[in-house]
């Protein structure tokens, strides 16, 4: 019979350790020996090379034999029953006795094999732990420790008490599996590792994977010589003879890791996985500075500490999140009340500490109408302006947060000291405006307690693997990164940003209101001045004008033969000009009165108004041989004297602008129309009485349809059609006073239609 070993001799080094198949080393640690049988069979297929040291029988005599040929038949048949169970309870290991030695036998299935790991009881007795007192202790710890860190400290102390290791650490992973020692219980003379940080590469992915499946590992003596696993070399069998030792307790450990521990001066370790949601949350890592074999039941007690701690992690983390959330909320409330109490938060309160606390930020900056307002630790002004510009372009009208700004903004590498992580909210007040909260780079914020230099022993190959190197690597992996933002912090920052935006909007409205107020005041003064002007035009202008007219008339009436024809002509022109000026003054007066006079609305029958107007204009009508025809007009609420004026103006125009040789024919029609039919750009709404004045006059070009209502707008030569150019402007103002409109349509040379629109009550 030929025997071969199944040792994995692939060379592992620092560059390929991620792919080292640590679950199939083909060797074990020597503090026990290993046997392997096929499932449902009792022939021994695998045997570790050290069997003779424990049972006095070498592998060449063990391999190929039945269990019952090595151990007493009674034990062998009990074992067959024990191993047939689908789930083997590790709390009840099998015990083989041979030559007055008891072997604690841990049994598990691996693929098609059943693996037996036999360890002699180190102190010769089977020491059952006092689970009752262990549990009672934990419950009291649970009650007295308030936070997660307290609890970890207690568990570290308790685990050291139970196991006797020189150092017990609670090691926690971050999202990238970088680790940190968050609690430590140690022999007093040892240097502390508390708060030390390690990169994720110190525990490669396949190792973490393995530790999820197998929650406990022990290295009993760092200086051990691995013991090969042997099997029968059957040349006819080309099968794969490797043995998966994932769940094994004696598995030989990766040489890389051994080197690491040696460099630290460690003699033995025990590691227990701490899981949360099927992921590795952390480890309980125990170090001893000399070899140490922990008996089976003590290992189980240590494992129980791990279970105790794991059971509390989620609850404590939620409680911690809650506490932080509460502090954040409080800071938010403070910040909001400051915001609401101040006129201009940017100017007066941007340095308020609550602004930072609400997001647990190390700095904050507001960019408002291009001006920067900063609080706490922030990059320089130019760097900030560049960053705001970048954010406004990349995330317009958005919010954004990151713990690694340089990932999206390479220029951030130079500002990581202040701005490794940011929360950003854009604001609409001006170009590039927004608010930023900053977090420093993690490295900057380390409160360094453990000195990694102290955690190494001198070694001739230059500490290739050592905590010092690890720490440098950790710094590389977390470079330019801040601690991640919590949900509560992100939410508080949002709430504050929205409130700040409102604050700014409110300020804009307030400034506009103030501007409107000043404008109104200016308008009021202008109006007052205007009515003074009216006063001047009526009294101060009219009076001298009247005198000019009187004296001109006197000169002309005297029929003085001494006056030359030329002088008479000049005086006549002077009188005419004065008359025109008087007319103009009167019209301006009417126009301005139309705006300023008291407006009393009375329900009036427009037919009555029309009748009065016609009788006032009767002479002209007769003189021009005009005809006037009207629909029945409605009764509406109007300012009667103004509408009288309006009708006078419209009908006078129709009588005035006639084609030579024709008699004016005026037709007034009425109806009700929708706002859409009213010729106004904006404010028409509801329904309107539309009253149209049609004439057969000279009309005007379509382009004048709007301008015709402007003051002093004249379309026709004054000598032919005299007037001041104010009449239609007065009509427009009157219609405005009635919340109505006026419009004009015409075909040049064929007549015009002027329509007035009164809102239907």
Binding site for ligand BLA (CB under 6 A): 14, 17, 20, 22, 169, 179, 193, 198, 201-204, 207, 217, 219, 253-254, 256-257, 260, 269, 271, 283, 285, 465, 470
Q: Where are the alpha helices (DSSP H) in 164-295?
A: 205-213, 255-264
Of 184 and 433, which has the nearer Cβ to ligand BLA? 184
Task: For residue 415, give the DSSP letter.
Answer: G
Q: Closest distance between ligand BLA and the C-beta of residue 273, in Å? A: 9
Of 201 and 451, which has the nearer Cβ to ligand BLA? 201
Q: Closest distance between ligand BLA and the C-beta of residue 14, in Å? A: 5
Token pair of 415 as six digits: 């500002």
**366 CB contacts (<8 Å, ≥6 apart)?**
346, 350, 372, 373, 374, 434, 435, 436, 500
Of 20 and 489, which has the nearer Cβ to ligand BLA? 20
* HEC letters along 641-668: HHHHHHHHHHHHHHHHCCCCCCCCEEEE
Phi, psi (deg, nearest 5) at residue 33 = -130, 160
Contact in structure between 733 and 591 (CB atoms under 8 Å):
yes
Residue 444's CB is within 10 A of a number of other CB atoms, namely: 14
Partners of 107 in beta bridges: 116
Of 217 and 299, which has the nearer Cβ to ligand BLA? 217
Q: Closest distance between ligand BLA and the C-beta of residue 179, in Å? A: 6
Q: Closest distance between ligand BLA and the C-beta of residue 109, in Å? A: 20
Of 106 and 470, which has the nearer Cβ to ligand BLA? 470
Token pair of 333 as six digits: 């409330």
Q: Closest distance between ligand BLA and the C-beta of residue 204, in Å? A: 5
Q: Where are the alpha helices (DSSP H) in 376-486?
A: 381-394, 416-419, 467-477
Phi, psi (deg, nearest 5) at residue 70 = -100, -45
Of 285 and 735, which has the nearer Cβ to ligand BLA? 285
User: SS3 of 442, please?
Assistant: helix
What is the Cα–Cα distance from 634 to 49, expressed in whole angstroms?
121
What is the Cα–Cα distance from 392 to 296, expressed in whole angstroms?
62
Task: For residue 369, give the DSSP letter.
Answer: T
Phi, psi (deg, nearest 5) at residue 429 = -65, -40
What is the Cα–Cα distance from 150 to 127, expressed in whole angstroms?
30
Of 217 and 439, which has the nearer Cβ to ligand BLA? 217
**580 CB contacts (<8 Å, ≥6 apart)?**
722
Q: Closest distance between ligand BLA and the C-beta of residue 9, in Å? A: 16
Closest CA relative to residue 407, chosen from 475, 481, 476 = 481
Q: Closest distance between ligand BLA and the C-beta of residue 261, in Å? A: 7
Q: Closest distance between ligand BLA and the C-beta of residue 48, in Å? A: 17
What is the Cα–Cα distance from 342 to 346, expressed in whole angstroms?
9
Of 172 and 350, which has the nearer Cβ to ligand BLA? 172
Q: Closest distance between ligand BLA and the C-beta of residue 201, in Å? A: 5
Q: Closest distance between ligand BLA and the C-beta of residue 47, in Å? A: 22
User: SS3 of 30, please?
Assistant: coil
Of 5 and 20, which has the nearer Cβ to ligand BLA? 20
E strand intervals along 11-100: 27-28, 33-38, 44-48, 94-98
Q: Closest distance between ligand BLA and the C-beta of residue 146, in Å? A: 26
What is the Cα–Cα distance from 273 to 277, expressed in whole angstroms?
13
User: SS3 of 59, please?
Assistant: helix
Strand pairing category for 227-232 and 27-28: antiparallel
Of 282 and 751, which has the nearer Cβ to ligand BLA? 282
Residue the block writes with tokens 């130079």: 414
Closest CA relative to residue 357, chosen from 387, 336, 385, 381 = 336
Q: Closest distance between ligand BLA and the C-beta of residue 108, in Å? A: 17
Of 283 and 668, which has the nearer Cβ to ligand BLA? 283
**640 CB contacts (<8 Å, ≥6 apart)?**
602, 604, 609
Q: Closest distance between ligand BLA and the C-beta of residue 255, in Å? A: 8
Q: Closest distance between ligand BLA and the C-beta of residue 376, in Å? A: 33
Of 207 and 493, which has the nearer Cβ to ligand BLA? 207
Q: Closest distance between ligand BLA and the C-beta of residue 68, in Å? A: 34
Burial of 551 from C-beta contacts in 10 A (0-12 / 13-18 / 19+): middle
Dihedral (CA of 93, 96, 101, 105) sign: negative
Phi-psi domain of 369 (left: phi exceeds 0; alpha: psi -120 through 50; beta: other): left
Of 169 and 361, which has the nearer Cβ to ligand BLA? 169
Token pair of 340 as six digits: 């609401």
Of 285 and 678, which has the nearer Cβ to ligand BLA? 285
Of 449 and 508, which has the nearer Cβ to ligand BLA? 449
Of 164 and 722, which has the nearer Cβ to ligand BLA? 164
Q: Closest distance between ligand BLA and the C-beta of residue 236, in Å? A: 33
Of 179 and 295, which has the nearer Cβ to ligand BLA? 179
What is the Cα–Cα distance from 367 to 246, expressed in whole angstroms?
57
Task: For the chain, give the number of residues.
Answer: 761
Strand pairing category for 227-232 and 113-120: unpaired
Dihedral (CA of 14, 444, 434, 486) sign: positive
Residue 619's CB is within 10 A of a number of other CB atoms, namely: 9
Torsion of CA 511, 517, 523, 527, to 10 degrees: 180
Of 259 and 579, which has the nearer Cβ to ligand BLA? 259
Q: Closest distance between ligand BLA and the C-beta of residue 210, in Å? A: 6
Contact in structure between 297 and 129 (CB atoms under 8 Å):
yes
Q: Closest distance between ligand BLA and the C-beta of residue 169, in Å? A: 6
């Amino acid at each position: 019979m030929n025997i071969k070993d199944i040792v994995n001799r692939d060379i592992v080094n620092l560059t390929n350790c991620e792919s080292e198949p640590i679950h199939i080393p083909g060797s074990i640690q020597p503090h026990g020996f290993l046997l392997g049988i096929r499932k449902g069979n009792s022939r021994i297929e695998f045997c570790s090379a050290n069997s003779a040291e424990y049972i006095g029988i070498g592998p060449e005599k063990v391999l190929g034999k039945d269990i019952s040929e090595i151990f007493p038949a009674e034990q062998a048949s009990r074992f067959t029953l024990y191993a047939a169970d689908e789930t083997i309870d590790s709390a009840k290991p099998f015990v083989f006795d041979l030559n007055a030695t008891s072997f604690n036998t841990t049994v598990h299935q691996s693929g098609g094999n059943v693996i037996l790991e036999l360890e002699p009881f180190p102190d010769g007795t089977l020491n059952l732990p006092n689970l009752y007192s262990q549990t009672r202790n934990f419950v009291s710890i649970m009650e007295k420790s308030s936070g997660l860190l307290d609890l970890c400290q207690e568990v570290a102390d308790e685990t050291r008490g139970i196991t006797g290791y020189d150092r017990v650490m609670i090691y926690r992973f971050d999202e990238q599996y970088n680790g940190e020692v968050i609690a430590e219980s140690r022999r007093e003379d040892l240097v502390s590792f508390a708060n030390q940080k390690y990169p994720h590469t110190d525990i490669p992915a396949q190792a973490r994977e393995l530790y999820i499946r197998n929650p406990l590992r022990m290295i009993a003596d760092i200086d051990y010589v691995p013991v090969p696993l042997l099997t029968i070399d059957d040349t006819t069998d080309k099968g794969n003879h490797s043995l998966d030792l994932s769940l094994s307790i004696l598995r030989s450990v990766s040489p890389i890791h051994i080197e690491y521990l040696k460099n630290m001066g460690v003699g033995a370790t025990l590691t227990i996985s701490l899981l949360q949601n099927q992921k590795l949350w952390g480890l309980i890592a125990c170090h001893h500075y000399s070899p140490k074999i922990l008996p089976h039941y003590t290992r189980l007690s240590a494992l129980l500490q791990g279970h105790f701690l794991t059971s509390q992690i989620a609850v404590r983390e939620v409680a911690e999140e809650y506490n932080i959330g509460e502090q954040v909320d409080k800071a938010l409330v403070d910040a909001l009340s400051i915001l609401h109490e101040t006129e201009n938060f940017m100017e007066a309160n941007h340095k308020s500490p609550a602004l930072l606390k609400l997001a647990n930020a190390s700095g904050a900056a507001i960019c408002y109408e291009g001006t920067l307002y900063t609080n706490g630790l922030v990059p320089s002004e130019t760097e900030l302006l560049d960053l705001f510009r970048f954010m406004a372009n990349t995330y317009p009208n958005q919010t954004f947060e990151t713990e690694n700004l340089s990932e999206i903004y390479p220029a951030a590498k130079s500002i990581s000291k202040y701005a490794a992580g940011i929360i950003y909210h854009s604001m609409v007040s001006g170009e590039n405006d927004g608010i930023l909260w900053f977090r420093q780079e993690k490295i900057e914020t380390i409160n360094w307690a453990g000195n990694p230099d102290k955690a190494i022993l001198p070694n001739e190959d230059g500490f290739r693997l050592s905590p010092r190197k690890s720490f440098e690597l950790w710094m590389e992996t977390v470079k330019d990164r801040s601690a991640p933002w919590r949900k509560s912090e992100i939410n508080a920052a949002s709430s504050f940003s929205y409130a700040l935006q409102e604050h700014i909007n409110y300020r804009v409205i307030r400034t506009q209101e103030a501007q409107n107020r000043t404008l109104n005041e200016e308008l009021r003064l202008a109006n007052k001045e205007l009515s003074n002007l009216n006063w001047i035009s009526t009294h101060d202008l009219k009076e001298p004008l009247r005198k000019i007219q009187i004296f001109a008339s006197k000169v002309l009436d005297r029929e003085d033969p001494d006056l030359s024809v030329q002088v008479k002509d000049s005086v006549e022109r002077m009188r005419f000009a004065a008359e025109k000026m008087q007319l103009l003054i009167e019209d301006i007066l009417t126009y301005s009165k139309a705006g300023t006079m008291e407006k009393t609305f009375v329900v009036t029958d427009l037919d009555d108004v029309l009748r009065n107007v016609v009788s006032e204009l009767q002479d002209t009508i007769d003189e021009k041989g005009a005809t006037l025809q009207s629909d029945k007009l409605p009764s509406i609420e109007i300012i009667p004297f103004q509408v009288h004026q309006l009708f006078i103006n419209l009908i006078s125009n129709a009588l005035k602008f006639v084609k030579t040789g024709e008699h004016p024919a005026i037709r007034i029609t009425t109806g009700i129309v929708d706002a859409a039919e009213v010729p106004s750009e904006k404010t028409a709404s509801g329904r309107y009485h539309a009253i149209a004045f049609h004439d057969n006059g000279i009309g005007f070009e379509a382009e004048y349809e709007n301008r015709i209502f402007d003051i002093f707008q004249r379309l026709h030569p004054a000598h032919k059609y005299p007037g001041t150019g104010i009449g239609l402007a007065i009509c427009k103002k009157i219609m405005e006073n009635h919340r109505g409109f006026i419009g004009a349509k015409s075909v040049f040379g064929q007549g015009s239609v002027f329509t007035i629109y009164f809102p239907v009550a």
